[in-house]
Amino acid sequence: MTRVLAIGKYKEADAQALREEFDAVAIPTPAASATLDDTVRNRIEGVALMGHRPFGADELALLPKLRALSIYGVGFDAVDIAAARARGITVTNTPGVLSDDVADTAIGLWIAVARNFEEGTHLVRSADWAHRPPRLGFTITGRRTGIVGLGRIGREIANRLTGFRSEIHYLARSPKDTPGWTFHADILSLAHAVDDLFIATVGGAETRGMVGADVLAALGPGYVINIARGTVIDEAALIAALDNGPIRGAGLDVFQAEPHVDPCLARHPKVYPLPHIASATVETRARMGALQRSNLRALLAGDPPLTPVT
């Protein structure tokens, strides 16, 4: 008897695993629960969730027996955590297994935008190289770097930055145990202290627009790298800073209204954009799916989850 909903656009391997282990019913969005027969909805105890469509109190109310909500991914800003807790629903995500790939992508974006990789690729592929030389980029080794959020991913970014002889600063709620990295309690203080800013914090209302015009002005002629959530950056302020200074460039894997990206950012010559692929490797996505199912399996069996959202 079906007890699980699989919500979102899963790859076939994960979709098949959810069907085989949980006899999961697949629907595209949380709101689509309303289209299910009442007898199906009323016996759903677990949800495997993929994607960023809102899952709030109204969607939760459609599933009266829900007690386990297992998210595929780290971010949980689309889920109304308070409403879930009020219902006694345990929410889990899949941290840790994707930290390396996301941190690698952040460093890749940093190098690509500072060294004009996209323009250089175009020169070679279009044969324009014969007619004009590539622009000079900027050295990244030895730069002062700031990380907004020193969780698992932020720490892995910092670990990689040590190989570039970076002076590392970070923003967090409280000082962390680090090998001498500089703590900042305020994002403006962080921006004033560094050349480049890596965004690795959570999404949601608490961080919406926190990288705005004031932060970009304090940062000065450096680079902004975002592998967190598009909502953390005020995109209008970023476009203005790219157009008029002082920001030298941005490497972005996430956007506010993705996949519908503001054309001013998507086509900006100072932006190196990616389509939210920081965790998109065969190995990591397999680990994410396995961890999601392990959390769901544990919760349905009445056991403690492996990675609960706190």
Distances (CA, A) of 144 to 47, 107, 139, 164: 43, 14, 12, 10
Query: What are the structure tokens assigned to 186, written together?
Result: 């305020």
Residue 225 buriedness (CB in 10 A; 0-12 / 13-18 / 19+): buried
In sequence order, the β-bridge partners of residue 27 are 7
Strands 4-7 and 46-49: parallel
User: For residues 157 and 45, what is the distance between their CA atoms, to the nearest angstrom?
Assistant: 37
DSSP helix/strand/coil, 265: helix
Q: Give the chain's count of helices (H) and strands (E).
A: 12, 12
Q: Taking a C-beta distance cutoff of 8 angstroms, is the pair 99, 158 a contact?
A: no
Task: Tell me which residue has tokens 């994707």.
Answer: 98
Q: How far apart are CA 187 and CA 218, in angstroms?
A: 10
Q: Which residues are catalytic?
A: 229, 258, 276
CA distance 153 to 141: 21
User: How many angstroms separate the CA atoms of 203 and 77, rounded?
Assistant: 6
**Cis status, amide bond into 246, omega within 30 of 0:** yes
- Token digits for 23? 């006899």
Would you call 87 helix, strand, or coil by DSSP? coil
